[in-house]
Amino acid sequence: MMKKCCYLAIFVLLFHLEFLAIQPVNATAKRVVVPQNPANYLSLTYYLNKCPDAEGIIQQKGCDASILLNYKGSERSSYVSSTLRGFQVIDDIKAELEKRCPRTVSCADILTAAARDATVFAGGPFWEVPFGRKDGRISLAKEAEVVPQGHENVTALIEFFQTKGLNILDLVTLSGAHTIGRCTCGTILNRLYNFNGTKNPDPSLNTSYLNLLKKRCKRSTDLVYLDVITPRTFDTVFYTNLQRKVGLLTTDQELYSDQRTLPFVEAMASQPFLFQNQFIVSMTNLGNVQVLTGNEGEVRANCNYINRR
């Protein structure tokens, strides 16, 4: 169960990787230099000689790791991060790795691999994870606020994903991660009682589902499942829920009403094999967003804090 919660946290957290555009030295004044994607420096064999048991330890125990920094004003202390789970699992993995291979395996790599392992644990697909990420040295609470909060429209979501180099198919596919996990009732109270200031419920909510949510959301801090039907299983029921108007978040339900995303939702709902295969592609894309490599960033000794200089 912890791994499943950890996975959902990681899905969001990987957006917080500080960006680095590595640019080669300009050998001649007339030569046009094309900036290299830092993700190109990641490798499946990165820890082969440095820490050969790294991936096994991560699996047994349980990508910027900026969400892990634990201090006043950090992303981890942000209100929107208050429901994230799995930090202790990551701490345990890091502690074991530090015993075996001190200052070698980054927290960002641990998070990325743990996301994959938790997906598999919940019944999802396996994919190879390239390593070599470095940890960021800064974490700000306001950066966590940039991540979609569950009430944006589809246009805002598409634009946000495009700024990360991700497309509409990635948006719909990665939203499928909401097949497992929970969120606070405070996120959806407006849908239940005052949608868009109308003082009425969101008309796109299934009536029976609306009544169920009202019973379960007595306080804003109460938790409800993102997938009301199979909340602990990685499957395509998330998409069929949208067809039945039982999507929990506004951002999720609107994927079924917008013509740009609707075809992808219908395809995922009817073809589980398609979803599983595209999830591998989209998670790989997500894991390559704004990574730090080489001499940028650091390998933290403790995922909660930057290294002392």
Task: Give 1: exposed, middle or buried? Use CB within 10 Å, 0-12, 13-18, 19+.
Answer: exposed
Q: At what angle do helices 87-100 and 54-61 cross, to 10 degrees?
A: 140
- Is 263 labeled as ligand-binding? no
- Is 230 labeled as ligand-binding? yes
Name residue 225's beta-bridge partners: 182
- Is 16 labeled as ligand-binding? no
Name residue 298's beta-bridge partners: 135
At 131, is the secondary structure helix, strand, or coil? Answer: strand
251's CB contacts (< 8 A; 6+ apart) are: 148, 150, 151, 152, 154, 157, 175
Report d(CA 35, CA 51) in Å as an integer: 30
Which residue, among 113, 121, 77, 81, has the nearest Cα to 94 in the 3D structure?
Answer: 113
Question: Dihedral, CA atoms, 153, 155, 159, 161, nearest 10 degrees?
Answer: 60
- Is 92 labeled as ligand-binding? no
> Could you count the other beta carbons within 10 Å of the beta carbon of residue 296?
15
* Dihedral angle sign, alpha carbons of residues 11, 157, 174, 243: positive
- Is 235 labeled as ligand-binding? yes
List the structure tokens of 29: 């004044």
- Is 227 labeled as ligand-binding? yes
- Is 135 labeled as ligand-binding? no
Element (H, E) at 57: helix 54-61
- Is 178 labeled as ligand-binding? yes
- Binding site for Ca(2+), by residue number, is 62, 64, 66, 75, 179, 227, 230, 235
- Binding site for substrate, by residue number, is 148
- Binding site, by residue number, is 62, 64, 66, 75, 148, 178-179, 227, 230, 235
- Binding site for heme b, by residue number, is 178
